[in-house]
Amino acid sequence: MTKIVFLDRGTFPKNFEAKKPSFSHEWQEYEGTPKDQIIPRLQGAEIAIINKVKLTEDVLSNLPDLKMIAISATGYDNVDINAANERGITVANVKGYAENSVPEHAMMMILALSRSLIGYQTDVEKGIWQKSNHFCFFNHPIEDLHDKTLGIIGRGVLGAGLARLASGFGMGIMYAGRRDDKNPHKPYIEFNEFLEQCDIISVHCPLNEQTKDLITKKEFDKMARKPILINASRGGIVNEADAVNAVNEKKIRALGIDCLSLEPPRNGNPLLSIAHYPNVIITPHVAWASSDAIYTLWEGLINNIEKWKKGELKNSL
């Protein structure tokens, strides 16, 4: 009987009714799995389901029975793909499940930061409006999105989804070319030119060797229009310490972050020092997590497992 082990079931809501594969199997799941329990819990398992648990070469070398890694996410930087390929282990992720959820979350941040929603809400909670001599007051800047230029890093389904939403507000759209490409083809814009021309920048690319620390002090210094910066992709793409400095030095006018380099930030993170600012929004990596997206993700995960069982699926990344 096929043994299936889900190592971090806690990455899904507790009340989510997760259907199981239709074929005969033994199912084990754990709320979370510390590093020293990964190998023991996967002994004898043919299929490992993971979200953020890391499966390194050292781990995989101790799992002779493992035949498939089913990732309940799109990102797969937590799996040593080369080591899996060498051992004939199929690795499958789920694409497109958050094609509405992530763009909507990014658009929410853009709207909230453009209109200083957090600042004004906080002022009402503190009683500042109630003390005003007029029907309104102007503690924070308010800007329209119409005719602003939105720059998107990453032109996959999520970046394209945000572009679709932004176009409804009358925004112009730019796509960033690769950092080392001096002559990108349309619709991409040379990276430094992109940084100079955008009123808002939103990150929707994967984290890899090319995109790690893609935005650092050097890039912030080139942002001539002092844009709003959004990262709903992966922590590590935007250098966190440099982002804090950019906010404090007013190199950018607002910051929206949904992902940190280490999650949760139990030992602190530079970004937490500015989380209370009226022009900063930090959410706990939930851009992907609408109820619709979670359902679609799980359907895709089970579909990958059942296709693999039928011999219809090899690597799907």
Would residue 56 count as lying in a domain? Answer: yes
Residues 67 and 115 in one domain: no
Residue by residue, DSSP assigns 231-257 as E-S-TTSB-HHHHHHHHHTTSSSEEEE
Per residue in 251-267, pLDDT (tens digit) is: 999 999 999 999 999 99
Helix (H, G, I), strand (E, B) or coil at 90: strand
Q: What pTM did the predictor assign? A: 0.90
Active site residue 17: no
Among residues 41, 105, 204, 234, which one is catalytic? 234
Tens of pLDDT along the chain (317 residues) come to 999 999 999 999 999 988 999 999 999 999 999 999 999 999 999 999 999 999 999 999 999 999 999 999 988 889 999 999 999 999 999 999 999 999 999 999 999 999 999 999 999 999 999 999 999 999 999 999 999 999 999 999 999 999 999 999 999 999 999 998 888 998 999 999 999 999 999 999 988 889 999 999 999 999 999 999 999 999 999 999 999 999 999 999 999 999 999 999 999 999 999 999 999 999 999 999 999 999 999 999 999 999 999 999 877 77
Sign of the dihedral defined by the CA atoms of residues 122, 126, 129, 130, in that order: positive
Q: Residue 138: exposed, middle, or buried by beta-carbon count in 10 A (0-12, 13-18, 19+)?
A: exposed
Q: Report, in angstroms and rounded to the nearest whole number, the Rg of the chain calculated over CA atoms.
A: 22
Residues 135 and 253 in one domain: yes
Active site residue 285: yes
Per residue in 148-165, pLDDT (tens digit) is: 999 999 999 999 999 999
Structural domain range at position 166: 101-282
Q: What count of other Cβ atoms lies within 10 Å of the Cβ of residue 8?
A: 17
- pLDDT, residue 313, reads 87
Residues 193 and 162 in one domain: yes
- Mutual angle of helices 101-114 and 117-125, in 10-degree steps: 60
Residue 201: both structure tokens together: 């920048």
Residues 193 and 301 in one domain: no
Would residue 314 count as lying in a domain? Answer: no
| Non-local CB neighbours of 101 within 8 Å, separated by 6+ positions | 287, 288, 289, 290, 292, 293
Among residues 263, 266, 299, 306, which one is catalytic? 263
Residues 144 and 264 in one domain: yes
147 neighbors 171 (Cβ within 8 angstroms): yes
Query: How many folded domains does the chain comprise?
Result: 2
- Mutual angle of helices 157-167 and 101-114, in 10-degree steps: 50
Residues 208 and 236 in one domain: yes
Active site residue 263: yes
Residue 92 bridge partners (DSSP): 70, 316
CATH label of the domain that carries residue 208: 3.40.50.720
